[in-house]
Amino acid sequence: MSSTPDPPETTGPPGNREPSGRERLSASLRRPTSRTQVIAALLLFVLGFASVVQVRANDADDNFTGARQADLIALINSLALATDRAEDEVGDLQRTRDSLRGDAATSQTALSVARGQAETLGILAGTVPVVGPGVRVTVETRSGELGTDQLLNGIEELRDAGAEAIEINDRIRVVATTGITESPGGGLTIDGQRVRAPYIIDAIGDPHTLATALDFDGGFVPEVEQVGGTVAIKQSGSIEVSSTVDPPEPLFALPDSEE
């Protein structure tokens, strides 16, 4: 019995064969990427990222989902206490800041007052040169010499009228310890320095008040005229007292170490 051979399998030309899945994937990778594909990829990336975030958020919320009411109340109370402590610390820091500002302002005020007092004491003690309004008094003697009594009275009248600084002959500063004596050969000795007429007295203070204090009945001007001298008083808006004295060293007093 003869058998009929099977017909040969028809493979067909390569161009008519259906491509496999691997061939389609390889072809798609080699094909240039279109704009649509790029947009789709970005959308998929964003969607995946949002999904991950949502899942993590749900996991975080789940931490309190099964918590008991007492636990939640305890957590809220602890947060409230932490907030109160933070507010108390902020209040303490603000009060400390305000205190430091107040202390700084107080210290600055005290320093300004101390500096002002030091300047005032320096002027009165004659340790610093000064300038200001005042009078210049020029004393000439003709038939007689000016004595210590007349000059001392003139200085006292100027001090009583508010003179803050007094200088004689542009080189001798008159202070509380100034001594005036008559010289044997004529003239006066003031703080160890010999001076002769004309005597020029510069005094800083209110010009009108100082001038009035010298020229009244029985005052400095009439006394000088009685001994044959003359007095010329010139009021000025700027009198310079440049001479100074060195303050004496204390003999018995010492600064307190506790101060």
What is the structure's pLDDT at 1? 46
**174 within a domain of the structure (yes/no):** yes
CA distance 146 to 188: 8
**Neighbouring C-beta atoms of residue 153, cutoff 10 Å:** 17
Which three-class secondary structure string do you get for the chain? Answer: CCCCCCCCCCCCCHHHCCCCHHHHHHHHHHCCCCHHHHHHHHHHHHHHHHHHHHHHHHHHHHHHHCCCHHHHHHHHHHHHHHHHHHHHHHHHHHHHHHHHHHHHHHHHHHHHHHHHHHHHHHHHHCCCCEEEEEEEEEEEECCCCCCHHHHHHHHHHHHHCCCCEEEECCCEEECCCCCEEECCCCCEEECCEEECCCEEEEEECCHHHHHHHHCCCCCHHHHHHHCCEEEEEEEEEEEEECCCCCCCCCCCCCCCCCC
Q: Which of 80-89, 142-151, 191-200 has the highest mean pLDDT?
A: 191-200
Position 169 in a domain: yes
Residue 169: the pLDDT is 95
Alpha-carbon separation of residue 164 from 104, 203, 246 (angstroms) = 33, 7, 17
Structure tokens at 31: 């094909």
Residue 137: phi and psi, rounded to 5, are -110, 120
| Domain presence at residue 224 | yes
When mean pLDDT is compared across 41-45, 168-172, 249-253, the lowest value belongs to 41-45
Residue range of the domain that includes 154: 130-241
What is the predicted pLDDT for the residue at 174?
Answer: 94
Among 141-145, 181-185, 198-202, which is the least confidently predicted range?
Answer: 141-145
With a threshold of 0.75, does the pTM exceed it? Answer: no
User: What's the total number of domains in the chain?
Assistant: 1
Asked if the model's pLDDT at residue 19 lies above 90, the reply is no
* 24 lies in some domain: no
Q: Read off the pLDDT of each residue in 162-180 and give the average, rounded to a whole number.
A: 93
Q: What is the mean pLDDT of residues 242-249?
A: 88
Q: Report if residue 195 sits inside a domain.
A: yes
| pLDDT at residue 113, rounded to an integer | 77
Per the domain annotation, does 65 fall within a domain? no
Higher local confidence (pLDDT), 70 or 210: 210
Q: What CATH code is carried by the domain that includes residue 226?
A: 3.30.70.1880
